[in-house]
Amino acid sequence: MKEYIEKFLSHLEVDCNCSAHTLRAYRTDLLGFLDFAGEKTHGDAAADAVTRQFLRNYLAHLTLAGLKPRTLARKTACLKSFYKYLARMKYITVNPAGLLGTPKVGRSVPDFLYFHQLEKLLDAVREYAEREGAGTGYFPLRDRLLFEVVYSSGLRVSELASLNDDSFTAGGFIRVMGKGSKERMVPYTRRLADLLGSYREARNIFITGHGALSCPAFFLNKKCRRISPRGIRTVFSKVIRETAFEKKIHPHTLRHTFATHLLEGGCDIRAVQELLGHASLSTTQVYTHITRDRLKNVYLSSHPRARH
């Protein structure tokens, strides 16, 4: 079965253009299933010997292990895709996962910041950058810009890490390489544009100080290399800790805030879908929650007796 797993992963990478993150997740899920199958069959886990009941037993085992419904749903989807591929390639005669049910996962409202909270956060990050680097040090400027870019343009962490110096166009757009290597153009704010000049100047000094002539990556780590998604999350945690902000903030919190503020401002949901790089509109619809302030304003302006 391990050989089939490798062929399936190669198919996802070459034919489906799946991201490295997706490939890692599928590999982890399938190898976990292979370990379970090998243990239950004493090492004889042939792909064509797996039945629907065996798969259900595996999912029941995961449920008893305490996995959340969202994780179970992902692992189920992985198994369904894997066995669909095996059946299509005729490696097996019967697809045991064809009628396998998928656990229902409720959509939770994304965590976001109200505008006054967002302004307070960005002010705190600006003060932190000025305090740490007197407004000119590379890393304080980099850390501030990370926050500004996510709220300005709603990028994912992986997209943020993959930005290059030429990703920012003179026309006010960011060229973003999203999931599945799909490129999109996302505008950025005037406030961000005003910061780019001083950041690039500090970045060039930092690169020269490391003996390099140039570096394509826009955001750099201490070794003058491209910062990783994990490194970006570490920066967010450190800055939030240093600013003693009122709540825990992740990069995705600002992405959620970006989408929420656009919709509240009247932006069309399909435009928000394009800006976020969502393949499906249903993914974007999770942001159509209504904040308390907007709900009250709509109520006051619509109900005939609301102001009496």
pLDDT tens digit sequence for 224-255:
999 999 999 999 999 999 988 888 899 999 99
Residue 123 is predicted with a pLDDT of: 94
Residues in contact with 131: Cβ distance below 8 Å, sequence separation at least 6, in sequence order: 140
DSSP 76-125: HHHHHHHHHHHHHTTS-SS-TTTT------PPPPPP---HHHHHHHHHHH
Q: Is 200 an active-site residue?
A: no
28 and 146 in a common domain? no
Residue 42 is predicted with a pLDDT of: 61
Q: Considering the domain boundaries, does residue 102 fall inside one?
A: no
Q: Average pLDDT in the 265-290 region?
A: 85
Q: What is the pLDDT of residues 187-203, one digit of tens each?
A: 999 999 999 999 999 99
Q: Which of 184, 200, 252, 289 is catalytic?
A: 252
Q: Is 156 an active-site residue?
A: yes
136 and 19 in a common domain? no
188 and 138 in a common domain? yes
pLDDT above 70: residue 44: no
Q: Is 179 an active-site residue?
A: yes
Q: Is 287 an active-site residue?
A: yes
Residue 19 is predicted with a pLDDT of: 79
Q: Considering the domain boundaries, does residue 193 fall inside one?
A: yes
Q: Which of 75, 255, 256, 261 is catalytic?
A: 255
26 and 170 in a common domain? no
Q: Name the percent of the chain in helix, strand, coil, to the closest 5.
A: 60, 5, 35
CA distance 62 to 103: 12
Which helix (H) or strand (E) element contains residue 176? strand 173-177
Residue 88 is predicted with a pLDDT of: 93
122 and 79 in a common domain? no
292 and 174 in a common domain? yes
Residue 180 is predicted with a pLDDT of: 74
Q: Considering the domain boundaries, does residue 121 fall inside one?
A: yes
Of the three residues 69, 88, 107, the one that is the final residue of a domain is 88
139 and 207 in a common domain? yes
**Residue carrying the six token digits 């999350």:** 233
CATH number of the domain that 70 lies in? 1.10.150.130
Q: Is 255 an active-site residue?
A: yes
Percent of the chain surpassing pLDDT 90:
55
Q: Considering the domain boundaries, does residue 204 fall inside one?
A: yes
Q: Which of 75, 156, 256, 261 is catalytic?
A: 156
274 and 189 in a common domain? yes
CA distance 224 to 203: 10
Per-residue exposure over 268-283, b if at least 16 CB sit within 10 Å of its own CB, e if not? eeeebbebbbbeeeee
Q: How many domains does the chain contain in total?
A: 2
Of the three residues 48, 72, 88, the one that is the final residue of a domain is 88
**Higher local confidence (pLDDT), 105 or 264:** 264
| pLDDT band at residue 76 under the 50/70/90 scheme | very high
| pLDDT band at residue 171 under the 50/70/90 scheme | confident
186 and 257 in a common domain? yes
| pLDDT band at residue 108 under the 50/70/90 scheme | low
Q: Considering the domain boundaries, does residue 170 fall inside one?
A: yes
256 and 174 in a common domain? yes
Which one, of 259, 280, 277, lies nearest residue 268 by Cα? 259
CATH number of the domain that 264 lies in? 1.10.443.10
Q: Considering the domain boundaries, does residue 303 fall inside one?
A: no
pLDDT above 70: residue 45: no
Q: Is 2 an active-site residue?
A: no
Q: What is the pLDDT of residues 254-273, one digit of tens each?
A: 999 999 999 888 888 899 99
CA distance 182 to 60: 37
Q: Which of 179, 184, 200, 289 is catalytic?
A: 179
For the record, the structure tokens of 157 come out as 């962490």
**Higher local confidence (pLDDT), 197 or 297:** 197
pLDDT above 90: residue 284: no
Residue ranges making up the domain that contains 71: 2-88
Q: Considering the domain boundaries, does residue 94 fall inside one?
A: no
Q: Average pLDDT in the 273-279 region?
A: 90
Q: Average pLDDT in the 19-25 region?
A: 86
Q: Considering the domain boundaries, does residue 99 fall inside one?
A: no
Which one, of 2, 21, 14, lies nearest residue 82 by Cα? 2
176 and 288 in a common domain? yes
CA distance 48 to 45: 9
283 and 147 in a common domain? yes
Angle between helices 269-276 and 251-264 (to 10 degrees): 160
Q: Average pLDDT in the 277-289 region?
A: 82
